[in-house]
């Protein structure tokens, strides 16, 4: 833990992050720093995204359906946990390639404290020999060390030394879809008769949606530099591309890059228009940041219902599998999709995000 080489690295090159050669299959990384969630974090989350889901917005609403208080927004939990992994996993990443098998394991409340750990579940050098792909499974843990969130992600990481030998490649098998059985009992039973749909903003319950339905979420949100910086710092995410305009001027985009999770939260908040009762993100099957976002971009979103599934053993809530697509500087009334990759369309038709995930709604 505190060997002299660790200490030497901590002194000579603090916060330098890990390179591809530093990742060993099966290794478990315990990420600093623990973080107690507060009402301040929740207020900032509201101010940054304008989220309006009633269960997270109101203690009495949450208590009426059987929760002990308004839970913290699922994606705020995700961002805090994700932020902790950055310093050890992706500080030297060239690209965040994907997410999979993300499950929210229980409601999280103000006053709880989160830590994070990641296991290296795959490594594979790329053909260039200059980078490698690292697969990790990360967990968010509560104050008692019990997991509240799990997800896999894979990133392309620079090698420190391109002449270093390639490790034996191991690529994990990751599900394209989280099965509803895997999250059916993660969320406590709610009193769905006490769920006041009018107060929550929409008459639509789970059974009112059908696979194939497409919903334009209508509104657009323009990102300011201060907003995405404050968000990412709130999450104690240290990825330098988000904060350092001076160095980024010489970088790939010539400017600060918006944290992909910021765009996910904007898109999720926009889905309130049409999905106001989708009160809980239960799982994320996969997500792709199709194009980068920058301050000044205006984010729009639309969603398609991919599946409607009951949950075994419960009749209070059901699950919808959604694909939410976010686009920039382009309203989504015509439901744009990412262009086929073969076409090598650099701007992806304005699409910046495709997120495939499960939400719960009252029945």
- State the nearest-atom distance from the C-beta of 297 to its own copies, in Å: 8
Total of residues contacting its own copies (CB under 8 A): 91
In 3D, which of 40, 68, 73, 39 has the Cα closest to residue 54?
73
Q: For its own copies, give the closer residue by CB, 179 or 193.
A: 193
Applying CB under 8 A, does 1 fall inside the site for its own copies?
Answer: yes
Pick the piece of the chain touching its own copies (CB under 8 A) from 151-159, 178-186, 237-245, 334-342: 237-245
The token pair at 297 is 């971009």
CA–chain centroid gap for 326, Å, is 14
Q: For its own copies, give the closer residue by CB, 41 or 125.
A: 41
- State the nearest-atom distance from the C-beta of 308 to its own copies, in Å: 14
Applying CB under 8 A, does 175 fall inside the site for its own copies?
Answer: no
The token pair at 309 is 């599934």
User: Which of 59, 185, 345, 347 touches its own copies (CB under 8 A)?
Assistant: 59
In 3D, which of 166, 188, 335, 360 has the Cα closest to residue 282?
360
Cα 80 from Cα 83, distance rounded (Å) = 5
Q: For its own copies, give the closer residue by CB, 55 or 120.
A: 55
What is the CB neighbour count within 10 angstroms for residue 251?
14
Applying CB under 8 A, does 160 fall inside the site for its own copies?
Answer: no
By CB under 8 A, the residues from 258 to 287 that bind its own copies are 272-276
Applying CB under 8 A, does 245 fall inside the site for its own copies?
Answer: yes
User: Which of 181, 185, 191, 208 touches its own copies (CB under 8 A)?
Assistant: 208
What is the CB neighbour count within 10 angstroms for residue 59?
13
Pick the piece of the chain touching its own copies (CB under 8 A) from 148-156, 172-180, 241-249, 285-293: 241-249
Applying CB under 8 A, does 215 fall inside the site for its own copies?
Answer: yes
Residues facing residue 123 across a β-bridge: 134, 170
Interface map 73-92 toward its own copies (x if CB under 8 A)? --------------x-----
In 3D, which of 324, 294, 302 has the Cα closest to residue 227?
294
User: Which of 234, 263, 311, 355 touches its own copies (CB under 8 A)?
Assistant: 234
Q: For its own copies, give the closer residue by CB, 60 or 169.
A: 60
Based on DSSP, count helices (H) and strands (E) in the chain, helices before strands.
10, 11
By CB under 8 A, the residues from 21 to 50 that bind its own copies are 30, 32-36, 38-44, 46-50
- State the nearest-atom distance from the C-beta of 54 to its own copies, in Å: 5
Instruction: Spell out the alpha helix ranges (H) of the chain.
Output: 4-12, 39-49, 54-57, 59-64, 74-89, 197-200, 225-234, 245-248, 260-270, 272-275
Pick the piece of the chain touching its own copies (CB under 8 A) from 93-101, 221-229, 310-318, 334-342: 221-229
The token pair at 207 is 């059974």
Cα 191 from Cα 226, distance rounded (Å) = 40
Applying CB under 8 A, does 15 fall inside the site for its own copies?
Answer: yes
Quick one: angle between helices 260-270 and 39-49, nearest 10?
Answer: 80
Applying CB under 8 A, does 11 fall inside the site for its own copies?
Answer: yes
Interface map 95-114 toward its own copies (x if CB under 8 A)? ----------------x-x-
- State the nearest-atom distance from the C-beta of 295 to its own copies, in Å: 9
- State the nearest-atom distance from the C-beta of 172 to its own copies, in Å: 26
Applying CB under 8 A, does 325 fall inside the site for its own copies?
Answer: no
Residues 6+ apart with CB under 8 A from 37: 72, 76, 77, 80, 108, 109, 110, 111, 112, 113, 114
């Amino acid at each position: 833990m505190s060997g002299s080489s660790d200490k030497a690295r901590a002194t000579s090159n603090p916060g330098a992050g890990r390179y591809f050669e530093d990742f060993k299959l099966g290794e478990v990384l315990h990420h600093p720093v623990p973080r107690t969630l507060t009402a301040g974090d929740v207020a900032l989350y509201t101010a940054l995204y304008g989220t309006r889901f009633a269960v997270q917005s109101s203690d009495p609403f949450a208590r009426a359906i059987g929760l002990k208080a308004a839970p913290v927004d699922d994606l705020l939990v995700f961002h805090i946990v994700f932020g902790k992994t950055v310093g050890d996993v992706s500080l030297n990443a060239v690209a965040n390639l994907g997410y999979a098998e993300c499950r929210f394991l229980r409601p999280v409340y103000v006053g709880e404290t989160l830590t994070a750990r990641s296991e290296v579940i795959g490594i594979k050098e790329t053909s260039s020999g200059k980078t490698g792909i690292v697969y990790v499974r990360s967990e968010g843990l509560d104050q008692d060390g019990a997991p509240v969130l799990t997800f896999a992600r894979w990133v392309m990481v620079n090698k420190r030394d391109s002449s270093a030998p390639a490790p034996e490649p191991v690529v994990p098998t990751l599900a394209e879809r989280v099965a509803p059985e895997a999250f059916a009992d993660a969320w406590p039973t709610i009193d769905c008769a006490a769920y006041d749909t009018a107060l929550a903003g929409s008459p639509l319950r789970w059974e009112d949606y059908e696979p194939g339905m497409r919903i334009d979420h209508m509104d657009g949100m323009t990102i300011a530099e201060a907003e995405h910086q404050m968000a990412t710092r709130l999450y104690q995410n240290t990825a330098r591309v988000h904060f350092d305009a001076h160095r980024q001027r010489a970088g790939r985009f010539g400017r600060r890059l918006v944290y992909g999770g910021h765009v996910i939260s904007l898109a999720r908040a926009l889905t309130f228009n049409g999905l106001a009762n989708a009160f809980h993100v239960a799982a994320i099957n996969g997500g792709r940041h199709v194009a980068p976002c920058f301050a000044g971009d205006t984010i729009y979103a639309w969603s398609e219902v991919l599946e409607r599934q009951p949950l075994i053993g419960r009749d209070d809530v059901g699950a919808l599998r959604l694909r939410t697509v976010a686009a920039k500087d382009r309203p989504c009334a015509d439901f744009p999709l990412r262009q086929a990759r073969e076409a090598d369309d650099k701007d992806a038709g304005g699409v910046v995000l495709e997120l495939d995930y499960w939400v719960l709604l009252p029945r």
